[in-house]
């Protein structure tokens, strides 16, 4: 079971066990990581599950596709490392993935 | 005004969100969340699409884990609220218990408008509202050969797309002259009609259902209002919902197309609020007309506004309404309310199944419908949340780009 680390904007770390095939957003909300409202529940319709992928993981995840990338343009402070976590599906290779939360989702 | 106890009736999207937002706002009193379905609160949108196709598993429907409710001290009560005793500030439960409140929140939602035809009681006839509905429907949808869908609204069409993808013959009966007529423009209806027909869905417009025929209690055919008999081993209907306002009505609260609330989501009783599908509120984005919206956005944003008020931070509810539906590979997103629009500008290409319809009323942009144009939708949400300035003439200029306009016109 891969372990993911979410780091809140204030530095608080959350280590979360994710199931393979689950989305990163689902793993985070199910573990009650604060700061990921995920209003639309994972339909890629709201851009409130935005996280920054840790630099060490850049290039090791599948690229953001069309609608995710379009949505990210409207996420709070998009960076090159921005992802919508509802569109990131957990694989065994993601064990140890580190994600940082933005200051706000709105 | 510190409340010792908040009781929330209804554990759907709105009720759950009120509970979660109260804790986020630092509310420290007692929270009782009463739901009449088994299990933990879950999200409904996937029930008519991804969940039926097995793309979302059962645990992933849940908003939060059981640990969350314990850690946040949210008492989840599985029972049905049968009455409100306003004098003694308590809710009576079907199981015989009572829940006392300092403030009561009605998040009772809505139920499916039943099919008013002979034979509607046969097995194999479904509305889709609860997880139990979807769990019973899923195996039948996979096995069905002939599916009749009654109503070409969001739910009916989402299911039609699922049934077609599963290989059934799908026939949609619709009283109106086009799909999603209440929700979208003629141009957007046309795009979806063409797409569904491409997936093998057959439409019968201006056509109602007269009866459902059964064979040993199981649906086997439907008869249309013009007397044709269509084979149907599965009938799914989505013909609108009725707000669950019964306990509010019986308690003497003001009712107007659901539970009437003010701009702060307060009912005619200052100790009772209502929100979500059941609440009819003066909508700032609809000329302050009494408006009842059935959407995730409405439930979530109203819950946040309400939770903030309950901890002493009152603000009028003002969020921009937005909606989505996923049908096959089409994502339709709507920002704003298009009621009464008098002109429109189209962006994109219906042939490429990428279309945005900008709806204007009296020269003001009031809504944007987007199919597979996520950027337009998000830009529209930004634009519509501000005082409207985009003119129809500007939008109709050759080469107009909504995202670029939004970026160039930020405050």
Pair (B223, B267) in one structural domain: no
Confidence of residue A40 (pLDDT cuts 50, 70, 90): very high
Mean pLDDT per 10-residue segment, chain B (411 residues): 92 98 97 98 96 92 95 98 98 98 98 97 97 97 97 98 98 98 96 98 98 97 98 98 98 98 98 98 96 98 98 98 96 96 96 97 95 95 88 94 92 71
Work out the average pLDDT over A4-21: 95
Domain end: B180, B212, B239, which one? B239
- Mean pLDDT (chain A) is 93
One domain, residues B98 and B40: yes
Burial of residue B368, with CB atoms counted within 10 A of its CB: 0-12 exposed, 13-18 middle, 19 or more buried: buried
pLDDT confidence of residue A50? 96
Tokens 């013909």 locate to B239
| Contact (Cβ atoms closer than 8 angstroms) between residue B310 and residue B22 | yes
Buried b (16+ CB within 10 A) or exposed e, B283-299: bbbbeeeebbbbbbbbb
Quickly list H helices, B324-373: none
- In contact, B294 and A38? CB cutoff 8 Å: no
Do B352 and B303 fall within a single domain?
Answer: no
3-state secondary structure of B286: helix
- Is B192 in the same domain as B143? yes
pLDDT of residue B237: 98
Q: Which residues of B touch A45 (CB under 8 A)?
A: 324, 331, 333
B372, B302: one domain = no
Residue B368 lies in a domain: yes
Contacts A46 to B, Cβ<8 Å: 297
Query: What backbone torsions phi and psi does residue A38 show, to the nearest 5 degrees?
Result: 45, 55
The pLDDT of residue B30 is: 98
Domain final position from B239, B274, B293: B239
CA nearest neighbour of B46 among B374, B376, B320, B296:
B296
**Cα separation of B101 and B222, whole Å?**
48
Tell me whether residues A32 and B67 touch, CB distance under 8 A: yes
pLDDT of residue B1: 56
Is the minimum CB–CB distance between A65 and chain B shorter than 8 Å?
no
In the three-class reduction of DSSP (H, G, I as helix; E, B as strand; rest coil), residue B221 is classed as strand
pLDDT at B388: 66
The answer to whether A23 faces chain B, any CB pair under 8 Å, is yes
> Is residue B279 a part of any domain in this protein?
yes
Closest listed residue to residue A78, CA positions, set A46, A47, A32 = A47
- Does the distance separating the beta carbons of B71 and A43 come in below 8 Å? no
Backbone phi and psi for residue B99, each to the nearest 5 degrees, phi listed first: -130, 115
| CB atoms closer than 10 angstroms to residue B305 | 24
- Number of separate domains in chain A: 1
pTM, two decimal places: 0.96
For residue A19, tell me if it sits in a domain.
Answer: yes
Residue with tokens 């899923």: B138
- Across A18-41, average pLDDT: 92
Question: Is A106 inside any structural domain?
Answer: no
Co-location of B99 and B31 in the same domain: yes
What local confidence, expressed as pLDDT, does residue A106 receive?
Answer: 83
CATH number at residue B273: 3.50.50.60
Would the pLDDT of A67 be above 90?
A: no
When divided into structural domains, chain B yields a total of: 3
Percent of chain A with pLDDT over 70: 100
Query: Nearest by CB to A41, which of B45, B59, B379?
Result: B45
Q: Which structural domain, as residue segments, surrounds residue A77?
A: 3-100
Please check whether residue A38 is in contact with residue A27, taking contact to mean a CB–CB distance below 8 angstroms: no
Range of the domain at B213: 125-239
Here the tokens at position B99 are 């829940």
- Taking a C-beta distance cutoff of 8 angstroms, is the pair B9, B18 a contact? no
Does a structural domain hold residue B321?
no
DSSP chain A: --EEEEE-TTS-EEEEE--TTSBHHHHHHHTT-TT---TTSSSS-S--SEEEEPGGGTTSSPPP-HHHHHHHTTSTT--TTEEEGGG-B--GGGTT-EEE--S---
Task: Mark yes or no for CB contact A42/B67 under 8 Å.
Answer: no
B4 φ, ψ to 5°? -80, -30
> Which residues of chain A lie closer than 8 angstroms to B60, CB-CB?
22-23, 26, 42
User: Could you tell me the CATH number of the domain that includes residue B399?
Assistant: 3.30.390.30
Residues of B in contact with A73 (CB under 8 A): 375, 378, 403
- CATH number, domain at A91? 3.10.20.30
Shared domain for B146 and B93, answered yes or no, is no
Question: Is A105 part of a structural domain of the chain?
Answer: no
Residues B210 and B274 in one domain: no
On whether both B298 and B361 belong to a single domain, the answer is no
Asked if A74's CB is within 8 angstroms of B378's CB, the reply is: yes
Instruction: Check whether residue B59 and residue B83 sit in a common domain.
Output: yes
Phi, psi of B253 (to 5 degrees): -70, 155
Question: Considering the domain boundaries, does residue B319 fall inside one?
Answer: no
Cα–Cα distance measured from residue B316 to residue B238, given in angstroms and rounded to the nearest whole number:
32
Domain annotation covers residue A39: yes
Q: Does residue B84 share a domain with residue B38?
A: yes
User: Does residue A21 surpass a pLDDT of 90?
Assistant: no
Let me know if residue B346 belongs to a domain. yes
Amino acid B48: pLDDT: 96
Is the distance from CB of B271 to CB of B185 less than 8 angstroms? no
User: Could you say which of B239, B257, B275 is where a domain stops?
Assistant: B239
pLDDT given for residue B190 in this prediction: 98
Query: In this model, does residue A38 exceed pLDDT 60?
Result: yes
* Among the listed residues B122, B148, B124, B146, the one whose alpha carbon sits nearest the alpha carbon of residue B136: B124
Asked whether residue B317 is domain-assigned, the answer is: no
Question: With contact defined as beta carbons under 8 Å apart, do B32 and B72 qualify?
Answer: no
Q: Is residue A78 part of a domain?
A: yes
């Amino acid at each position: 079971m891969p372990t993911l680390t979410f780091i809140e904007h204030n530095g608080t770390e959350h280590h979360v066990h994710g199931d393979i095939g689950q989305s990163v957003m689902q793993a985070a909300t199910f573990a009650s990581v604060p700061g990921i409202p995920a209003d639309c529940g994972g339909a890629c319709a709201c851009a409130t599950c935005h996280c920054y992928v840790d630099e060490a993981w850049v290039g090791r995840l599948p690229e953001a596709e069309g609608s995710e990338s379009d949505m990210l343009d409207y996420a709070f402070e998009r960076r090159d490392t921005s992802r919508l976590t509802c569109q990131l599906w957990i694989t065994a290779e993601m064990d140890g993935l580190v994600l940082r939360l933005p200051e706000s989702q709105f | 005004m510190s409340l010792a106890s908040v009781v929330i009736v209804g554990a759907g999207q709105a009720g759950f969100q009120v509970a979660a937002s109260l804790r986020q706002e630092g509310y420290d009193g007692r929270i009782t969340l009463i739901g009449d379905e088994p299990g933990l609160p879950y999200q409904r949108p996937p029930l008519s699409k991804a969940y039926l196709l097995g793309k979302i598993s059962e645990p992933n429907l849940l908003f939060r884990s059981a640990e969350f409710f314990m850690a946040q001290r949210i008492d989840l009560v599985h029972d049905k609220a049968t009455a409100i005793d306003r004098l003694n500030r308590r809710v009576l439960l079907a199981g015989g218990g009572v829940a006392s409140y300092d403030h009561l929140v009605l998040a009772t939602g809505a139920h499916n408008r039943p099919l008013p035809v002979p034979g509607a009681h046969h097995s194999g006839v479904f509305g889709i509202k609860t997880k139990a509905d979807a769990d019973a429907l899923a195996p039948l949808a996979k096995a069905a050969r002939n599916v009749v869908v009654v109503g070409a609204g969001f739910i009916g069409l989402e299911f039609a797309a699922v049934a077609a993808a599963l290989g059934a013959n799908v026939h949609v009966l619709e009283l109106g002259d086009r799909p999603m007529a209440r929700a979208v423009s003629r141009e957007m209806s046309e795009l979806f009609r063409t797409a569904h027909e491409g997936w093998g869905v057959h439409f019968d417009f201006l056509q109602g259902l007269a009866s459902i025929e059964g064979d040993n209690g199981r649906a086997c055919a439907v008869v249309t209002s013009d007397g044709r008999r269509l084979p149907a081993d599965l009938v799914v209907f989505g013909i609108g919902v009725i707000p669950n306002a019964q306990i509010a009505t019986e308690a003497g609260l003001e009712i107007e197309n659901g539970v009437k609330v003010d701009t702060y989501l307060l009912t005619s009783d200052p100790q009772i609020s209502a929100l979500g599908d059941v609440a009819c509120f003066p909508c700032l984005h609809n000329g302050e007309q009494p408006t009842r919206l059935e959407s995730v956005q409405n439930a979530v944003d109203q819950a946040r506004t309400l939770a903030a008020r309950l901890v002493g931070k009152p603000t009028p509810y003002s969020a921009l309404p937005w909606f989505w539906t996923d049908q096959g590979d089409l994502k339709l997103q709507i920002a704003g309310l298009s009621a009464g629009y008098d002109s429109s500008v189209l962006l994109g290409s219906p042939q490429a199944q990428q279309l945005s319809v900008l709806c204007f009323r009296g020269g003001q942009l009031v809504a944007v419908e987007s199919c597979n144009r996520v950027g337009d939708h998000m830009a529209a949400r930004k634009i519509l949340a501000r005082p409207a300035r985009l003119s129809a003439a500007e939008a109709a200029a050759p080469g107009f780009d909504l995202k670029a306009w939004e970026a160039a016109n930020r405050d």
